[in-house]
Structure 1
Amino acid sequence: MLPSTGTIDDGRMFAHLHSVQDLSGAGPVVNVIEIMACCEDAAGGLITNLSAELPETRIVTIAQVVQTQIAVNGLMSRLSWVFLSILLLVGGASIASVMYANVTERRKEIGTLMAIGANRNFVTQMFLGKAAVLGLAGGAAGFVVGTILAAVLGPQLLGIHVRPMPMLLGVGMGTATIVAVAASLLPARRAAGLDPCLVFND
């Protein structure tokens, strides 16, 4: 056993190949051979020689592993942006639908406000203010619930310890508020465009 160095090698055990084969009962089978070379020329020569000596094996260099990992990370990053865009569109559509339904249900109340002197700007600001409050509350609730779920499920499912990131609270609340207000612009304009006379005639 090697002395601890604080690296991944601390969790490894080194033994003679034949001893490991006997203990595991796998027989004369080798899954992986890891070779470390001190310079690029030696690594290049080793790859050529190994390919000739072991034609049925798959030889992978650390550079190929790193390139593959970088490609996977890039793909996951792009997929994350795609999923985020879909979630924002779905959330915006849901908020717009709710606000349209709210305008329809409160037609007489809106007409009453306009009949007693409320102008269109006041009605528009009222609905946009409501959307902003919903966005702030939704962003805060989403941050709290998401953080709790990540902290609980991360170690259980992936073995990863997740630490809360308070700086994301502002980002979540700001994004949710912008989406809510943007999705409520058309419903708010519709509410401000109602004619009190026509509303009371319905």
Structure 2
Amino acid sequence: MANHTAVQDMLIEANGLRFTVDTAGPAEGPAVLLLHGFPQTRHTWRAELTALAAAGYRACAPDQRGYSAGARPDGIDNYRVELLVADALLVDNAGALRRAMARNAVPETDIDAYLDTLSDREALDAAVNWYRAMGQSSIQSSDTPAITVPTMFVWGNEDVTVGRMAAENTADYVTGPYRFAEIPGVNHFVTDEAPGAFTELLLDHLAEHG
């Protein structure tokens, strides 16, 4: 049986830098990211790593930017808070994103495929800009005309981000042929959670309206 409480040190690359990281705990356990301050290092978390691991958590304690030998870029500008935050996300193997998708029943192989792109700091930052830009567009919902083309809304009825009311009320904005397709037992990421279900619906929709 694996000793999950044993602390392992490893090198993790993020944002073009290489961080020294101590980890402990089962890989499938809930992640806990431990970030030190000045003038400490990852050593400050030595007791917490084993205690968290024994409790079933996956603990990760990196030497942060400037502390890891492979993560010491020149210039004060390279130590801005937003860069430290991005480091933390990526050193944790984009853990927040990974856990969010895992809670939504996205298979591990698919999560790895998505994070293959989003583990790059510039890619993650650009992707999050979609949400940062919300509310700043010159196009407002009141200015958007009704949709007249054939439209299909596919919704998993366990979606925790789009509730039933929002999903069903989408019909109010469509004047063309409209179909609301509900998939039982599926969360937000339909194509990952129920491979093939959307494919059949799409082919039927195109055959009818193509």
Bin the TM-score by the shorter chain: under 0.3
- Bigger radius of gyration among the two: 1
- Structure having the higher helix fraction is 1
- Structure having the higher strand fraction is 2
* TM-score normalised by structure 2 residue count: 0.21
